[in-house]
């Protein structure tokens, strides 16, 4: 199948985010894809916002079967999040388990008044009562195919499909 | 070679000694500790990763600091912690080590942190437990204290960024020190080009050079241009006149004072595993100086112990 153009999707996501931000907004990227998107759109947002990034390794629900594999940088939320409106940014939404882990971690930093989930692609694989408020495309893929954000040789964002070796 | 620390997939199942760990494995532990260090800086200093697991600190030999840091580390991972000071209980009633451990396994503990005065105690226990039980050596006799070696490596990396151009001096009672042995092994594996040991002949192991170190008996020569100074505690029980004359005499010949510190590089760091004896191996002015990283070592020790426990608990044979 042809995969969507990632740069276009990021541009659309940026435009949607621009319509809902105000001075009370904090942007948090889920590592690694969400954090990359956040860094890409940040300079073009209509106002300067506090940001953070989250690596969900210590909050995942599959630790007992998967063990601990840390490939990302440590979570970093240096800004006060009590009473803030958080926009949680990720590249792909599939089961909702990563978002659950990210939300659990966010609540260890404080009590935001609202969390909105914004993603590029919703894979229609929801396993929990969690759903993105903002998505640019819905794509259904076979379960064993892993969709991820990557860079091409010109440093442009692209989507990549990989077979899961589970 | 059979390595009792690794499972059949080559993953770390127990932490018994630094020897036998690959450079990659050590770096993985240090990198993971970096993430855990951030947890300690938050308001909520806890992650749910070991929720439902039980960590049992079994100390056949007393050590308040090591036990406390393991306890904090386990609690920050959301594990339940049991502290057993065996030195004052079952052992004195005649129970064997294995019976003590088997009783604790029957209580469904998952990780055992073991401190024992006999070298090899943790290895012995690890070779007798079921695959899903993990053993961490918190110091066995003169042999090994791997989490101290790892936290010292973490500390050096924090201040010196990389290992491959460093001169490191270890000063004091090398002969009786499991900390020195673990550090020598860790620094060699991590590629430190020059490790010096500085001690009187009576406090050096036979053929210590074979561990890959340069030997100095004169501290003033040994400290010249080093990047890292690791002081060891002089155990008071050694001050019986056979190995060392007196505390005052030791301080005069091997104590780290300001003028000796000035022989090292200007930005050299001073480390000590604690508890330190001010005025015996280290001068107060040095211990409290800007070059001292003795208290950060304690903070880093918690993150490194969290890292080890989380990595072990994620392994299943």
CB pair distance less than 8 Å for B38 and A55: no
CA distance B231 to B273: 8
Bond prior to B275 in cis (omega within 30° of 0) = yes
CB pair distance less than 8 Å for B49 and A59: yes
Same domain membership, residue B248 and residue B158 = yes
Closest CA of chain A from B130, distance in Å: 17
Contact B190, B23 (CB under 8 A): yes
Chain B CB contacts of A55 under 8 Å are 35
Same domain membership, residue B82 and residue B218 = no
Residue B32 lies in a domain: yes
Same domain membership, residue B132 and residue B245 = no
- CB neighbours of residue A139 within 10 Å: 16
pLDDT above 50: residue A112:
yes
Chain A CB contacts of B39 under 8 Å are 58
Q: Which two tokens stand for residue B232?
A: 């060891």
pLDDT above 50: residue B317:
no
Coil vs helix vs strand at B77: coil
pLDDT above 60: residue A166:
no
CA distance A75 to A77: 7
Contact B292, B298 (CB under 8 A): no
pLDDT band at B237 (very low <50, low <70, confident <90, very high): low
Contact A46, A77 (CB under 8 A): no
| Domain that residue B186 falls in | 146-297
Average pLDDT for residues B14-23, to the nearest whole number?
95
Same domain membership, residue B115 and residue B166 = no
Identify the residue whose tokens are 């049992």: B56
Residue B18 lies in a domain: no
Closest CA of chain B from A69, distance in Å: 8
Domain A6-56+80-163 fold: Rossmann fold (3.40.50)
CA distance A97 to A86: 18
CB pair distance less than 8 Å for B48 and A58: yes
Do β-strands B80-85 and B54-59 pair in parallel, antiparallel, or remain unpaired? parallel
Same domain membership, residue B306 and residue B248 = no
Same domain membership, residue B245 and residue B158 = yes
pLDDT in tens, B193-220: 999 999 999 899 999 999 999 999 999 9
Distance (Å) of CA B260 to CA B195, B218, B224, B273: 18, 11, 9, 20
Same domain membership, residue B189 and residue B85 = no
pLDDT in tens, B69-121: 999 999 999 999 999 888 766 566 778 888 888 888 888 899 999 999 889 99
Contact A59, B48 (CB under 8 A): yes
Residue B203 DSSP code:
G
What pLDDT was estimated at residue B91? 62
CB pair distance less than 8 Å for B315 and A67: yes
Average pLDDT for residues A36-57, to the nearest whole number?
96
Coil vs helix vs strand at A129: coil
Same domain membership, residue B307 and residue B293 = no
CB pair distance less than 8 Å for A68 and B311: yes
Name the residue in chain A with its Cα closest to that of B38.
Answer: A74
CATH code, B292: 3.40.50.1370
A55–B contact, CB cutoff 8 A:
yes
* Backbone Cα Rg of chain B: 19
Closest CA of chain A from B16, distance in Å: 20
* CB nearest to A55's CB, from B35, B311, B316: B35
Identify the residue whose tokens are 């990659």: B24
Same domain membership, residue B162 and residue B287 = yes
Residue B14 lies in a domain: no
- CB neighbours of residue A163 within 10 Å: 9
Phi, psi of A15 (to 5 degrees): -60, -45
What pLDDT was estimated at residue B30? 96
The residue extents of the domains of chain A are 6-56+80-163
Residue B119 DSSP code:
T
| Residue ranges of chain B whose CB lies within 8 Å of a chain A CB | 11, 31-32, 34-35, 37-39, 42-44, 46-49, 310-311, 313-316
B193-196: list long-range contacts, CB under 8 Å, 24+ apart: B193/B164, B193/B165, B193/B166, B193/B167, B194/B166, B194/B167, B194/B168, B195/B168, B195/B170, B196/B167, B196/B168, B196/B169, B196/B170, B196/B222, B196/B226
Phi, psi of B194 (to 5 degrees): -140, 110
pLDDT above 70: residue B254:
yes
* Backbone Cα Rg of chain A: 15
Contact A71, A61 (CB under 8 A): no
Closest CA of chain B from A65, distance in Å: 8
Same domain membership, residue B223 and residue B256 = yes
Residue B129 lies in a domain: yes
Chain A CB contacts of B314 under 8 Å are 63-64, 66-68
Contact B232, B256 (CB under 8 A): no
pLDDT in tens, B273-287: 999 999 999 999 999
Q: Nearest-CA neighbor of B152 among B231, B68, B67, B221?
A: B231
Residue B4 lies in a domain: no
Residue B13 lies in a domain: no
Same domain membership, residue B281 and residue B158 = yes
Closest CA of chain A from B312, distance in Å: 9
Q: Helices in chain B by DSSP H: which ranges?
A: 23-39, 64-76, 97-106, 121-126, 146-160, 178-189, 219-222, 247-254, 258-261, 284-287, 294-313
Q: How many Cα atoms within 13 Å fall on the side-chain side of residue B7?
A: 19
Closest CA of chain B from A67, distance in Å: 4
**Total domain count, chain B:** 2
Chain A CB contacts of B34 under 8 Å are 74
A79–B contact, CB cutoff 8 A:
no
Same domain membership, residue B268 and residue B134 = no
Do β-strands B194-198 and A25-30 pair in parallel, antiparallel, or remain unpaired? unpaired
Q: Which two tokens stand for residue B100?
A: 């003590």
Residue B202 lies in a domain: yes
Residue B13 DSSP code:
-
What pLDDT was estimated at residue A19? 96
* CB nearest to B31's CB, from A64, A70, A104: A70
What pLDDT was estimated at residue B1? 58
Is this complex's ipTM strictly greater than 0.95? no
Residue B261 lies in a domain: yes
């Amino acid at each position: 199948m042809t995969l969507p153009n990632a740069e276009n999707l990021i541009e659309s996501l940026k435009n949607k985010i621009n319509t809902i931000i105000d001075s009370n907004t904090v942007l948090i990227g889920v590592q690694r894809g969400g954090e990359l998107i956040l860094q890409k759109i940040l300079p073009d947002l209509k106002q300067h916002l506090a940001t953070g990034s989250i690596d969900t390794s210590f909050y995942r629900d599959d630790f007992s079967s998967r063990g601990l594999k840390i490939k990302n940088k440590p979570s970093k939320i240096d800004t006060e999040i009590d009473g803030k409106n958080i926009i949680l940014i990720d590249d792909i939404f599939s089961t909702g388990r990563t978002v659950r882990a990210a939300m659990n971690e966010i609540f260890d930093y404080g009590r935001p008044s609202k969390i909105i989930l914004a993603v590029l692609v919703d894979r229609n694989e929801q396993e929990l009562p969690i759903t993105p408020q903002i998505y640019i495309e819905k794509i259904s893929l076979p379960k064993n195919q892993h969709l991820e954000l990557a860079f091409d040789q010109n440093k442009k964002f692209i989507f990549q499909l990989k077979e899961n070796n589970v | 070679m059979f390595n009792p620390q690794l499972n059949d997939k080559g993953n770390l199942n127990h932490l018994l000694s630094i020897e036998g760990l690959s450079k990659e494995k050590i770096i993985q532990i240090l990198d993971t500790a970096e993430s855990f260090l951030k947890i300690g800086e938050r308001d909520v200093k806890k992650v749910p990763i070991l929720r439902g697991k039980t960590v049992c600190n079994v100390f056949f030999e007393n050590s308040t600091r090591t036990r406390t840091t393991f306890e904090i580390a386990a609690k920050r991972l959301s594990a339940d912690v049991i502290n057993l000071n065996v030195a004052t209980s079952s052992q004195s009633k005649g129970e064997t080590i294995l019976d003590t451990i088997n009783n604790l396994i029957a209580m469904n503990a998952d990780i055992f942190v073991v401190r024992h005065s006999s070298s090899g105690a943790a290895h012995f226990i690890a070779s007798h437990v079921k695959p899903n039980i993990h053993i961490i050596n918190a110091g066995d006799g003169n042999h090994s204290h791997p989490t101290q070696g790892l936290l010292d490596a973490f500390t050096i990396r924090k201040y010196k960024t990389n290992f491959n151009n460093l001169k490191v001096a270890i000063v004091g009672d090398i002969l009786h020190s499991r900390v020195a042995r673990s550090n020598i092994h860790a620094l060699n594996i991590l590629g430190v080009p020059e490790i010096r040991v500085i001690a009187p002949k009576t406090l050096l192991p036979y053929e210590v050079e074979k561990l890959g170190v340069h030997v100095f008996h004169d501290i003033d020569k040994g400290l010249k241009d080093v990047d890292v100074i690791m002081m060891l505690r002089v155990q008071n029980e050694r001050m019986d006149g056979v190995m060392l004359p007196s505390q005052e005499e030791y301080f005069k010949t091997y104590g780290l004072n300001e003028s000796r510190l000035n022989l090292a590089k200007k930005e050299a760091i001073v480390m000590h595993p604690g508890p330190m004896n001010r005025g015996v191996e280290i001068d107060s002015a040095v211990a409290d100086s800007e070059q001292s990283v003795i208290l950060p070592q304690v903070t880093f020790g918690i993150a490194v112990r969290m890292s080890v426990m989380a990595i072990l608990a994620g392994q299943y044979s």
